[in-house]
Structure 1
């Protein structure tokens, strides 16, 4: 029997400096997802898919996709073969983390599309290294410029399939101070789509 990476993931989850909720998984759905991706639970990505419906990190600010759960798609559903991109996580502001090769033939790394830059940035980290860093406290420093006083309570009240729309948006000069902007919970898919549309219109994407 293959050795799962889930115990290693669980240990990092247990030691996280902020709340991490492991969503229950449907084993049948997870198995279908693993088969579709062609991976096993020996990898960190496979373990998250096989043993969780997803992870809600730091009061739900970061939503790491797994085998699927109410409000969260499974990882296989987020595969974009045309772009060669596999979205592995969303954040509450509509940001996306995707696993894709930086160039043809290269090992895949995690890239981030954020609401403040509206362009994909290569974080130059493999999936396991990226997830371990995010679970171990990296969310705090990564989002330092995208938080406002009292965000914890506000974000905790948002469902996994919702995100917080900011107006003016953070990519504008007027939207730099997130404590002064208008914030509203809307469907996450709608928020993600709107940001992609703006990026295309502005030629960032």
Structure 2
């Protein structure tokens, strides 16, 4: 019963239309993460935490957090400041996915903070629904406006603890076409911090 969620996830990984790498789990670290989140392995999030260090999706574009791996934090280590809900994934452009309640009493849903608009948006999907969609092919359409010719090889060469910084950034008019900007790998934590600082300055956070 406790492995049922991971069985479904594994089937989606195997059938995904793009590469998905399951990073090995550290049982001790994963167990501590699961306890901190106060969830069980019957949930999709719990199954990902216990059975993987994380999922590296579509040449490394999307990094779904699990029990933690070299270069990738575990879910419990990444909490949205002031909200107390976990960040469940990062993308290579410094975007974040967090699992949180839009309002008290509502079911938690996955929200996305992206570099193109620097604001949180409610995707109105539970964690399982969101992960199923991302593993089934939704990454392609979701990121259509943030990709450039040859991105696959460039992204595949970026380390798990790095993201791609673009200048001008994607939230500016000049930065909308990612094929025309200057791009370089920087630490992912730094990239996320830069996006959040700009969001604060613009009043969108």
Instruction: Look up the match of 2:179.
Output: 179
- Inter-partner Cα distance in structure 1 for 2:49 and 2:10: 13
Aligned: 1:188 with 2:180: no
1:61-140 equivalences in 2 (<5 Å): 61-80=61-80, 82-140=82-140
User: Where does residue 57 of structure 1 map in the other structure?
Assistant: 57
Output the CA distance in 2 between the equivalents of 1:81 and 1:4: 32
Q: Is residue 3–residue 47 contact of structure 2 (8 Å, CA) maintained in 1?
A: no
Distance in 1 separating the partners of 2:102 and 2:4: 27
Using the size of structure 2 for normalisation, the TM-score is 0.98
**What per-residue deviation string (whole Å, max 9, x for no partner) do you get for residues 111-149 of structure 1?**
000000000000000000000000000000000000000
Indicate the residue corresponding to 1:13 in structure 2: 13
How far the C-alpha of 1:176 sits from its partner, in A, is 1.0
More helix by share: 2
- Is this contact kept in 1: 2:29–2:68, CA < 8 A? yes
SS of corresponding position for 2:130: helix
Query: Can you list the C-alpha shifts for 1:80-129, whole angstroms capped at 9, x where unaligned?
Result: 47313210000000000000001111000000000000000000000000
Q: Distance in 2 between matches of 1:129 and 1:2?
A: 19
Could you tell me which runs of 5 or more consecutive residues in structure 2 were left unpaired when the two chains were aligned: none
Report the count of equivalent residues.
Answer: 205
Alignment correspondent of 1:40: 40
The RMSD of aligned alpha carbons is: 1.0
Structure 1: segments with no counterpart, 5+ residues: none
Deviation for aligned residue 1:77: 0.4
- TM-score with structure 1 length normalisation? 0.98
